[in-house]
Chains A and B, each alone.
Chain A
Amino acid sequence: MTIDRTGTALIRLQGVSKHYGATAALSEVDFACHAGEVHAVLGENGAGKSTLMKLMAGVIRPSAGEILVDGAPVTLSSPAAALALGIVCMFQELSLVPDLSVRENLLLGAPGTGYGFRNPTDLAAARTTLDAIGGEAIRFATRVADLPLAEQQQVEITKALIRRPRLLILDEATSALNASVVDKVFALIRRQRDEGVAVLFISHRFHEIEALADTLSVFRNGRHIETMRNGEHDYPHLIQLMIGQPLSNLFPVAAPVRPDAPVVLDIERLGWSDRLHAVSLSVRAGQVVGLGGLDGQGQARVMHALFGLLRHTEGTVRLGGEPIAPDSPKAATAEAVGLAWVPEDRKSDGLVLAQSIAENLHLASLGHGSRPDEAVFTRLMERLELTYRELSQPVADLSGGNQQKVSLIKWLALSPRCLLLSDPTRGIDVKTKAQIYRLLADLAASGLAIVLLSTDFEELIHLCDPVHVFYDGRIVDSLSGERLDASNIVAASLNLHATADGPDPVTRHA
């Protein structure tokens, strides 16, 4: 490996910051990526990785600082401008147009295609690339909306590669792909690197980073913490860098659940079309049950089913022994049922951003007869240390962490019997995370039954017991006690039954 890290970087960021209102997504970042290297960017959710990628891809512009390509300052005013410089990004939220065919998507905006009849893009090469990453079954004439997520990702990867990138940015490019396809994609990426392409790689899968990266950079809270060669530090050290504090400070010590505590939520053989199959689990009072797995494996659908968002579900759900079958969120939150659900996307599903804090807090109790006492809100706001100017200010003004607190308080004020949480700490800062963790532990200690869906396995390990791991609409493993550790969660998420082939460096004692 001969990477000249002293020479001119293919892309270099100098003192780059990006602010959204009062929140800083990136602060004074210096960062460089060289030709012929695979450079992995590590960081927690909300560390600024995606913001970094979007800056380089020309999707957003920096609030301050400079971007240099081949040593010359450039303005990346649009993705088209970045593309002209050979910067190609494969986005986490795909850049495919659902209503167009695969062929048309591959041609869309490709260099030299323009708006006329010229199609210099070599579709035969696209076919070869698609076949090389296991997409033999994907037909060019198929509408992208009709493809499953994994195949869409394969198309997205092909679309990026046929644009002949000089800098290829992969943002969670392989999150929906299975291991054998990932291997094929990596082989292709390595070949690109050997031909002198710079590759920026974001992934939450440590073993992928270990397998692919030459260089690692760690980001935390919008800052570039350190850059090192792959293998220079061990995983516990990396995690320490990513989190910034020992894990023990972040997670409260959970009180053990009394084995004779009553079962609050009991799900028996829950099924829904071909997306959920015979999911059974139960939650006792005071217990925090985790739902894990890769994105989109059915765990989110369990929440939707419980909250009355899905039609034609199978199986039985009992709450406090009584069978329930809510047909709408209103029915699910009725006092007789007593469910509350904090959805994963607080901006679109959890809150009405343009409305005030007070209006959002009252939203969940609308139509349920009695309004909760103002004192309930005040107490919860103090407990979660909600930072705000006045209750009449729009929620959009608050930082992500404070928005999530509003979303939580809104439901807790109804005093639910069972609380459903979907990724409640996605994209929020470490301090708020710790506050939310403490709140969850306290709520559990006071006897609330909690179901926590999370993509962050540290959360699952430290807050939950047991953790049910989903794969393809089924629970493939239920982990508790000694078996509840990172390597088992990762193995179950990928539906690998082997847990003993070599020590996985990421363990709960990291």
Chain B
Amino acid sequence: MLELFRANRRECSAAVVLALLLGAYLYTHPRGASTYVLTIWANQCLILALAAMAQFFVVLVRGIDLSVGAIMALTNTFASYVLGGTALGIAAGSVAVIALGTLCGLVNGLIVVYGRIQPIIVTLATGSIFVGIALLLRPTPGGSINYDFADAMTLDVAGIPTAVLIGVALVVVFWLPLRRTGLGRAMYAIGSSEQAAFQSGIAVNRVRLCAFALGGTFAGLAGSYFSHVTTTGDAGIAPNFTLNSIAAVVLGGVALRGGVGTLIGALIGACILKTISSLMFFSGLPPLAQPFIEGMVLAGAIAIGSLGLLRVSDRLLVFSR
């Protein structure tokens, strides 16, 4: 048990921070800890959590994805056309929305891997393209999502928010098994030491491509879930989610240099970030001061993670990490 805690200390400390923040939030919220409050909170968290998971897979293989928000915008506007009809149409539409996300991630990956271009530049460019297409689809926010389906995804089951159930299901049914596969190991290996992974016989290119495609899939899931919460399509959501997804993975203990961190960490990081801004909303602080305080909290949380550098007694190590 202690071993498990030590191996996942980043996630554990992030979880403690989240619990404290959530406690403070529920305490200060005028309506207290009710299913209603928790459901609203969980829905907001899950949107960002899915975006953070998208970012996580790319960061894991030592990349960074500036198109997470753009893929969300594109899939969200697309969803506002295809998720309005009959049950069968919605099912096919959902698959199409997520497949579109995967395709976007795959495009990023193909350019990065075979074009040998830095992920930050590739995703900056493709991000603009994805937003451009989203704007063509929906120049102004609009469209609609089938309300019954949206309700099913965003309300609660027996008092437990559906969003929480989805988050738990993703971890248990998808992440924990994936971590045990050769693919899961290979993604970590590439992020940690690409040379060692290559010399161990890993097909580095294909695994990296896979990580980018998984990132796209999760961005598609995020865009699709965003549609359920807002029931419209909006092409203007990209920048906010991209930057917050990066902040969320860092808060969740994922190393931007790759190879370190878990999907659970990304999920917790996203919840922390969302809870901070919700806290601000009910804190009574003047609205104009809120971004400032939010930024300070974020900077402080990230700075704690690099305190270790102060203890390094070999100055060369400061450059190697």
Interface residues in chain A, defined as those with a beta carbon under 8 Å from any beta carbon in chain B: 57, 59, 78-80, 82-83, 89, 91, 93-100, 104-105, 107-109, 113-119, 141, 159, 272-273, 304, 308-312, 328
Contact = CB atoms under 8 A, between A and B. Distances in A.
A171 to B, nearest CB: 11
Contacts of B314: 304, 309-311
A99 B316 CA distance: 20
B260 A115 contact: no
B312 A311 contact: yes
Contact of B259 (A99, A118, A304, A311): A99
Contact of B182 (A95, A107, A159, A310): A107
Given A93-B195, A97-B192, A109-B201, 13 more contacts: A79-B199, A91-B199, A95-B195, A95-B200, A98-B193, A98-B196, A100-B185, A104-B189, A108-B202, A109-B200, A109-B202, A304-B314, A311-B314
Interface string B174-187: 00010011110110
Contacts, number: 100
B201 A80 contact: yes
B296 interface: no
Interface of B: 3, 7, 177, 180-183, 185-186, 188-189, 191-193, 195-203, 207, 259-260, 312-316
Contacts of B3: 141
B199 A59 contact: yes
Nearest to A80: B201
A83 B185 CA distance: 18
A79 B194 CA distance: 13
B313 to A, nearest CB: 4
Given A78-B198, A80-B202, A309 B259 contact: no
Contacts of B201: 78-80, 82-83, 109
26 contacts: A78-B203, A79-B201, A82-B201, A91-B199, A93-B195, A95-B196, A95-B199, A96-B193, A96-B196, A97-B192, A97-B196, A97-B197, A104-B188, A107-B182, A108-B185, A116-B182, A119-B182, A141-B3, A272-B313, A273-B313, A304-B314, A308-B315, A309-B314, A309-B315, A309-B316, A310-B313
B235 to A, nearest CB: 36
Nearest to B313: A311
B186 to A, nearest CB: 6
A115 B196 contact: no
A312 B313 contact: yes
Q: Which 5 A-B pairs have the closest CB atoms?
A: A109-B201, A99-B192, A109-B200, A95-B199, A115-B183
A114 B192 contact: no
Contacts of A141: 3, 7
Contacts of B312: 311
Contacts of B186: 108-109, 115
B187 to A, nearest CB: 10
A354 B183 CA distance: 36
